[in-house]
Structure 1
Amino acid sequence: MHRPHWHTYDAEIDESPARITCDLAYFDRELRSGSSTALLILGAPLQEPTEAGLATEEESQTIANATSRIGESLPPTTLQVGGWTAAGSWQVALYTPSDLNENLIPTLESIVKEGGWEMWIHAEPDPNWHHYETFLQPPTRTRLKAINDRALTSLRRAGHDLTQPRKIAHKLSFPSREAAELALSSLHLLGFEPTTPPKTRKDHYTTAQVQREDPPNVLPALTEMLSEVCAPLDGDHIKWIATS
């Protein structure tokens, strides 16, 4: 089930200041629709950009309202994955089926025009989600911090004691089954046990899940350590789940 996890961070695009928003949930490849293989970028010039080429606070709110409406207008197979503001324009990134519903474009244009902008569109094949993974995704440490902060805040609000050990499962992703099995062997020596066998997807990526008992307040350091174990195998730590 897709639960959006929007994260906004400051960056640079072509040496210009940028503000990028990314739905971190789609880092989990299992949430990506297999038919959504085309990248569709909607763009529009800012009405009153700042000296840095970014949106003013007022226009940022108008853009947020427009992007929210864009998300609400999309069919299930068209996924809104992020957007950015830079160099005097704002843009939204979608992944769509290659046979895009022709009725969708007029709807999107109408939403953008209501905000006073003139929209342009760029489309290209991107079956491996290269744009999402190399452009929209924040650096690994930034992504892990955002995931940890959100999950720990949820546990804290639910009244959990973050200093008490509990079983926590970690979902990992690798480019091959062999890489996953090597990582599982290394993690076994650190006290992690697999909760499910490695599962290879149609895109050839393999997911694995391991579990260990730890207090949640050590998770920021723990997820970074797990990422360091996965990195030499081109793997990633996707998310963690408190299971007890």
Structure 2
Amino acid sequence: MKVNEVAKLVGISVRTLHHYDEIGLLIPDQLTESGYRIYSERNLEQLQQILFFRELGFPLKKIKEIVTSPDFNRLEALRLHEQMLLEKKKHIDMLLGTVAKTIQHAKGEVQMSHKEKFQGFDFSSNPYEQEARERWGDKAVDESNAKAKQMKKDGQMEKFQEDMNQLYAKLAELRHTDPASEDAQAAIGEWYRMLGQMGSYSPEAFKGLGQMYVDDQRFTKNIDKFGEGLAVFMRDAMAIYADGLQG
């Protein structure tokens, strides 16, 4: 198949396929004398794998590492996709239930507790652990993981998660105010202390984490579920708070 035929079949742009070729992620098996890319059945199978990984939030660099590895097993990868997508479906179903109940609550048909309003939002796990290791080192991440494991063992994780969701909601209410204001800085100070329960954050690391909330669209998407623009507000408030700690 030619590149425009593949693009039409899959629903992605020709430019995207060209980019995948240029970075060595998906190289067509044939190139005509005129320079046209020709995709084989094997290439289409590779593209399906790539798009599964993309759907699950993997960055292109990581996808390339996985699919070009000599140890890559397509069947094992498909089983992994199935498992991860089922987990994602379970999470989405829970969020849909929260949305449906919130609509009923807004119409006055049912009552909703504060806990129920945030059912399905889960920030206790870290799907970006490798990126965190690259940014802050193994020691900081291992320390955070150990604390999280101990909290689960002690039965404290659910309460911690509930407190975190409530603080997100509180920050969302402040997101249209000045991030340097007294109320905003007090709330972001709570955020700093809450993160401190999971690991040690230097002012520089705390500021860098806030920047990641905006630079990484996966973080932005999750945080902005509490209110559009919350990630940007938190980044700005965290930078101001970190500068104050260093000063």
- State the TM bucket, normalised to the shorter chain: under 0.3
Normalised TM-score (structure 1): 0.24
Higher relative contact order (CA 8 A, sep 6+): 1
> Which structure has the bigger radius of gyration?
2
The structure carrying a bigger helix percent of its residues is 2
The structure carrying a bigger strand percent of its residues is 1
